[in-house]
Structure 1
Amino acid sequence: MKTLSIVHPGASRIASGEKTLEVRRWHPELAPTEDLLIVENKRFLHIDGDEDPEGIAVAIVRVKAIRPFEPQDVPAACASYYEEGWLAWELIDIRPLMPPVPMRAARGIYTTDIRAGDLQTS
C-alpha cells in the first residue's frame, strides 16, 4: 500500500478530521480512487532514504485533487502561515485506524506490505 509519513501532530489531525489538506511542494503519483496510508512520526525526514522506525499508522485517506495552496487554505491545512508555491492535497474518505498500528516512517510516498483490508478503521 502507498504510504506517507507526516510529522506529529499533523497525521493525528488528519485522522481526527481536523486537517483536510496536506501541503507539499511535490505532486503525488496517486489516482483519486487509490488509498494512501498515513503514518505519524516524531521527527522530520530530510533526505532520501531517511526513516524513523517509531512511526504509527493512524489513517487511510484518498487524495481527491492537487491544486495550488491558497491563503484561505491555512485553517484546513492546520498551517501557521501561507507561503506561495506550495500544493494543497485535498484529502477525502478519511478513515482513522482503530487501533493505530506501529510501523516505520519514511520520506516521500513509499510502499508498505499492508493492504487497506488488513487494517481496522472506524
Structure 2
Amino acid sequence: MSDGLKGSQIKALSVVAPSGGKIASGVKTLGAQRWAPPLTSTGDLLIVENRQFLRQAGDEDPDGRAVAIVRVTTVRPFTRADMTAACASSCADGWLAWELADIRPVAWRGAVLAAQDIYLVDWPERPSGQAPPQT
C-alpha cells in the first residue's frame, strides 16, 4: 500500500510556538485538534513550528522551523485529563487527542514552510534519519 509520498517528501503539521519545542523535548505528548489526521500509526509526521496561527485553507508561513519527527499512534476524544500532556489551557467538546510517540528531535534550523492541515515537505533522508529539506 502506498503512503502517498512522492520522492523524498514527508507529511508535515505546523504548530504555533512554543508547542513545537515542547513536542521535541517530550513535554507535550498529545496534540489537540478539531479534526482527525489522514495518517497511519506507522507513518512519520514532521512537526514544523511557526509563530502565527494558520486558520484558513491556503494560509502559509515560509519561516517555519522543523523541530521533530513523530508518529501519531492513536486519535481519540480529548478529555480534561489530557490537558497536562497536551500543554493545553482549555478543553472543549469535539476536540480530538492525537497521541504522539517515537518523538525524534530534528537538528535542522533552516526555514521550512508552515501550512495549514497536513501537507508535504521535501525531506531527503540521511543515515541519521534527520536531514534538511531541499531548497
The 5-angstrom pairing of residues 50-89 of structure 1 reads 50-89=59-98
From the two aligned structures, give the one with the greater strand fraction: 1
Q: Work out whether 1:92 is the aligned partner of 2:104.
A: no
Q: What is the deviation of 1:46?
A: 1.1
- SS where residue 60 of structure 1 aligns? strand
Q: Work out whether 1:119 is the aligned partner of 2:133.
A: no
Query: 2:63 touches 2:114 (CA, 8 Å); kept in 1?
Result: yes
Structure whose alpha-carbon radius of gyration is higher? 2
The superposition leaves residues 60-109 of structure 1 with CA deviations (integer Å, 9 ceiling, x where unpaired) of 00001000001100000000122121000000000001243421100000
Amino acid at match of 1:91: L
Change (3 A) 1:92 1:17: same
Identity of aligned residues (%): 53
Amino acid at match of 1:119: Q
- Give ranges in structure 1 of 5+ residues lacking alignment: none
Query: 2:66 touches 2:108 (CA, 8 Å); kept in 1?
Result: no
- SS where residue 37 of structure 2 aligns? coil
Query: 2:113 touches 2:121 (CA, 8 Å); kept in 1?
Result: no
Alignment partner of 1:30 out of 39, 42, 46 = 39
Runs of 4 or more, structure 1, over 3 Å off, are 115-118
- Give ranges in structure 2 of 5+ residues lacking alignment: 1-9
Q: How many residues align?
A: 120
Work out the CA distance in 2 between the residues paired with 1:77 and 1:95.
Answer: 17
Work out the CA distance in 1 between the residues paired with 2:45 and 2:106.
Answer: 12
